[in-house]
Structures are given as C-alpha cells and as structure tokens.
A and B are shown apart, each in its own frame.
Chain A
Amino acid sequence: AQSVSQHNHHVILSEAASLELGCNYSYGGTVNLFWYVQYPGQHLQLLLKYFSGDPLVKGIKGFEAEFIKSKFSFNLRKPSVQWSDTAEYFCAVNSGGGADGLTFGKGTHLIIQP
C-alpha cells in the first residue's frame, strides 16, 4: 500500500521568507505525484504535478517541486512567500495508471505573517 509522509504539520513564516515543505512517499512502482493547496474555506486546487520527464516541475503562483527518485521525495519550494500563501498544503500520490484514488499526506498548515 502507498503512504505519504509530510514532515511539518504547522509552519509559520514571515513574508519574503523561503519555503520548503517536505514530502516522502512509499511505493516501489511508477507513481504520479501531486501537490494540492486548500485556501481557507475553499476546495483543493492543484499546484503542480510530476509523472515523467524533468524532475524539477514548476507550478502556479511561483511554486516548484523536485522529484528525487532515490529518496522517494517530492519537496515543494517557493523562493519568497506572500501573505496570500497562507493555506493547507497536501502532497499526494497515485500509481502509474492513474485510475486509483490519491493517497494524501496529512497536510501542512502554512501561516505567513505580514
């Protein structure tokens, strides 16, 4: 069975600080990897995804993530956060075929202080 581990449950940063949220998964086969964001009171939106090709993927709002296969990791980064990045961030994985549901990490609650 797949599992996803997010290292930080709560992160507090000041505006303009750099962000890195850790994500590790356990699955030996081909995977699709996703980062979703949930702004307060809203539904989940896709930030970025990786399934093949360049392991450094860029998403919306200046976010990027790097897939490191040897470490089973897919960490999310942003060079300079804004107050509007305050949200819950979820790392998720499913198997190569893509029909299965997503396995989510427990989420990271990010608070950006102005």
Chain B
Amino acid sequence: NAGVTQTPKFQVLKTGQSMTLQCAQDMNHNSMYWYRQDPGMGLRLIYYSASEGTTDKGEVPNGYNVSRLNKREFSLRLESAAPSQTSVYFCASTPLMGSGRGNEQFFGPGTRLTVL
C-alpha cells in the first residue's frame, strides 16, 4: 500500500515548455486534489476532483489543466510553463465516506518544479 504517489520528484523546465505531473493513489479514495506550496503562502488549491468524472477549479487554477483519468489517477498539466509556476506541487486524496465530515486528506511526497 503505497498511499499517494507522485512523479516526477523534481523537474526543471524552460519558460513555454509543457509537462504533466502524475498522481496516483491506491487507497480507493473518491476525491483527489492538487495544491501548490510557495514560501510564506501555505498550500493553495489548484484543482480538485470530488469523484471520478468530475473536476472543479480551486483558488489558483490559471495556467493549469487536470484530468481524472480513472478513480486512481489525477494528472496536472502545465501547457506553457511560466516562472510564476515555480513551486512545490502536492497531490492529495480523501475517501469522502459517509457524510464526508472529518475525512482527512492524505498527501503525496510532492514534485519540486523550477521554471527558468
């Protein structure tokens, strides 16, 4: 049981390049999330998928797209990377059982992305 896994761990891009960050969970969770973490800003929600087949924008969606490929996988795509997207990206998932109250989110190890 690996929990939430993310690939790659590190990536350096040039401005304008594109890439996809991969996330997978093996806990049969319903909901998945993408956050970015910047110094002094905490974590901010980019996109989320409450259930397979649905995606919604979070607080900072501009410049990103997502795909909920199946129940296990939720990818984040940068179509044209910008230096402002230099950040650490975390994927998370939650089972969202019952009423949904109190379901914690489980986080992956993160992807450190640098855009030059």
Contacts and interface: CB of A to CB of B under 8 A. Distances in A.
Range for the number of chain B residues in contact with chain A: 20 to 34
Contacts of A98: 94, 96, 99-103
A100 B48 contact: yes
Contact of B100 (A4, A9, A99, A106): A99
4 tightest A-B CB contacts, nearest first: A98-B100, A51-B102, A101-B45, A104-B42
Nearest to A48: B104
Interface of B: 31, 33, 35, 40-45, 48, 50-51, 58-59, 90, 92, 94, 96, 99-105, 107-110
A49 B45 contact: no
A96 interface: yes
Contacts of A36: 107
Given A44-B107, A102-B43, A104-B44, A96 B33 contact: no
Given A51-B101, A106-B42, A101 B107 contact: no
B100 A52 contact: no
29 contacts: A32-B103, A34-B105, A36-B107, A43-B108, A43-B109, A43-B110, A44-B107, A45-B107, A49-B104, A51-B101, A52-B101, A52-B102, A96-B100, A98-B94, A98-B100, A98-B101, A98-B102, A99-B48, A99-B51, A99-B100, A100-B48, A100-B50, A101-B48, A102-B35, A102-B43, A104-B44, A106-B41, A106-B42, A107-B42
